[in-house]
Amino acid sequence: MTAVKNNTTQPQVLVCVVGARPNFMKMAPIMRALQNVKHLITPYLVHTGQHYDQAMKDTFFQQLGIPKPDMDLGVGSGTHAVQTANIMLKFEPVLDDVNPFAVLVVGDVNSTVACGLVAVKKQIPLIHVEAGLRSYDREMPEEINRILTDQLSDLLLTTERDAASNLLKEGISEDRICFAGNVMIDSLLNNCNQASSLRDTLDNYACTQTVSENNYALLTLHRPSNVDDQATLARLIKIISELSQKLPVIFPVHPRTQQKISQAGLLAELSEQRVVLLPPVSYLEMLGLMRSAKLVLTDSGGLQEETTALGVPCITLRENTERPITVTEGTNTIVGTDPVKIMQCVDEVLTSGGKSGRVPEYWDGLAAQRIVAEIIHRYLPGN
Ligand code: UD1
């Protein structure tokens, strides 16, 4: 830890980084909590531009009330190496210009590790929000990003108590770890009242199919392991088609998935079923779709947490999760991509209502406040 020599009355600059869609709901409450300590900290928001489509970026900024970024690096898509390298190249001069006392990164996307590495090489303390999550699956690009970012970080803020044991096993000292709670759930609790109704969302996309509240499955799919391999994708699409015989499916399609489904020629099969295909929806629409779903099928990390907070049954189409508390305490069941297991789990939810679960500790809407208090305590002592 490096305490800032704060013998002036000037607020100190904290660089905060976002890059991809799941970062936005994590950063929004932190930016809001920082507003309350303006006399101590000036946030400088950097958007790397990893996600650049309006549907993946602008609507989230508007709905979550995130201020316009001070800097947009505009990196866009590319291979992992190209994207990571471009972010690093463009981020370094920003740090030279603004000279922050620390850099704060959230989550596990390429922007997180790229900016973290640049900060540490410049001897600027790195703060990682959502530290310590591990799927123990190194084929997942996010797992590599998590491990590396945590190794680089000076302050590691965790969302669940057990995450600390993952970090201790990797040799990270206990005094760098702080259990602060879940900022994604701060955003959910802040915005739940404004969530879009099912009807408004369907109308917004000119959808004429009949789907009623609490009587549909919500589906999201975007993990490379599920969508990049044609055989796996075809298997999943077949299951979705079958599932839609039992229950209509609403499927907001991520750009990566859209490309893969089109390339594999699977669009026709889906369109013939009771499957409502939507483009990527806004944050408030997604909250509304989750809240009134009978069940959610997903490979997203964020949705596993949000469904646990909302008490909606979640079936995770992956072999593992880095968020085990959503299984042990929440509404999540990990089923992988085996059609038989998926259908068994769906049937169980349809007959018994599924897991009800409980909301984990510190998923209480106050995580960002705890994070900001910890930052002040560590880096701006005496305030
Ligand atoms: C990224 C994150 C993932 C996160 C996901 C949420 C990494 C390694 N992955 O995955 O952890 O769960 O975001 O969305 O950082 N594309 C667009 N418009 C955009 C962004 C992407 O069309 O605004 C297309 C591009 O063709 C791109 C592809 O989607 O190649 C994948 O985007 P990319 O940012 O590489 O990864 P995601 O799959 O979105």
The structure's pTM equals: 0.96
d(CA 160, CA 164): 8
Q: pLDDT of 16-35, one tens digit each?
A: 999 999 999 999 999 999 99
d(CA 231, CA 322): 25
Work out the average pLDDT over 68-86. Answer: 98
Q: Is the pLDDT of residue 115 over 60?
A: yes
d(CA 7, CA 63): 38
Residue 74 CA, ligand 1 centroid: distance in Å:
14
CA dist 367 → 74, 178, 235 (Å):
29, 11, 39
pLDDT band at 272 (very low <50, low <70, confident <90, very high): confident
Q: Is the pLDDT of residue 88 over 90?
A: yes
Looking at the CA of residue 110, tell me the nearest atom of ligand 1: 15
Residue to substitute in 60, 109, 323 for testing ligand 1 pocket (most ligand atoms within 8 angstroms of CB):
109
- Active site amino acids: 222
Residue 143 CA, ligand 1 centroid: distance in Å:
15
pLDDT at 129: 99
Q: Does any ligand 1 atom lie closer than 6 A to the CB of residue 255?
A: yes
d(CA 50, CA 115): 12
Nearest to 271 by CA among 319, 305, 237: 237
Work out the average pLDDT over 82-95. Answer: 98
Q: Does any ligand 1 atom lie closer than 6 A to the CB of residue 52?
A: yes
Q: What is the DSSP letter of 50?
A: S
pLDDT at 126: 99
Residue 363 CA, ligand 1 centroid: distance in Å:
26
Would you state the structure tokens that stand for residue 27, as one six-digit string? 């950063």
Which residue's C-alpha comes closest to atom 20 of ligand 1? 51
Q: Does any ligand 1 atom lie closer than 6 A to the CB of residue 109?
A: yes
Would you state the structure tokens that stand for residue 64, as one six-digit string? 């979550």
Q: How many CA within 13 A on the CB side of residue 266?
A: 23
β pairing state of 314-316 and 295-298: parallel
Residue to substitute in 50, 143, 184, 257 for testing ligand 1 pocket (most ligand atoms within 8 angstroms of CB):
50
Residue 51 CA, ligand 1 centroid: distance in Å:
6
pLDDT band at 8 (very low <50, low <70, confident <90, very high): low
Q: Does any ligand 1 atom lie closer than 6 A to the CB of residue 22?
A: yes
Q: Residue 13 pairs with which residues in a beta bridge?
A: 42
Q: Does any ligand 1 atom lie closer than 6 A to the CB of residue 228?
A: no
Q: In what order do the strands lie in the sheet with 102-106?
A: 71-72, 41-47, 12-18, 102-106, 126-131, 155-158, 177-179
Which residue's C-alpha comes closest to atom 11 of ligand 1? 109
Q: Is the pLDDT of residue 78 over 60?
A: yes
CA dist 113 → 83, 307, 315 (Å):
11, 27, 29
Rounded to the nearest 10°, the torsion over CA 188, 191, 195, 201 is: -80
pLDDT at 9: 74
Q: pLDDT of 318-347, one tens digit each?
A: 999 999 999 999 999 999 999 999 999 999
Work out the average pLDDT over 79-93. Answer: 98
Residue 317 neighbours by CB under 8 Å, 6+ apart: 221, 226, 236, 297, 298, 299, 335, 336, 337, 342
Looking at the CA of residue 141, tell me the nearest atom of ligand 1: 8
Q: pLDDT of 353-383, one tens digit each?
A: 999 899 999 999 999 999 999 999 999 988 8
Nearest to 322 by CA among 181, 156, 138: 138
pLDDT at 3: 56
Provide, for the chain, the percentages of residues in helix, strand and coil under a 3-state DSSP scheme, each rounded to the nearest 5. Answer: 50, 15, 40
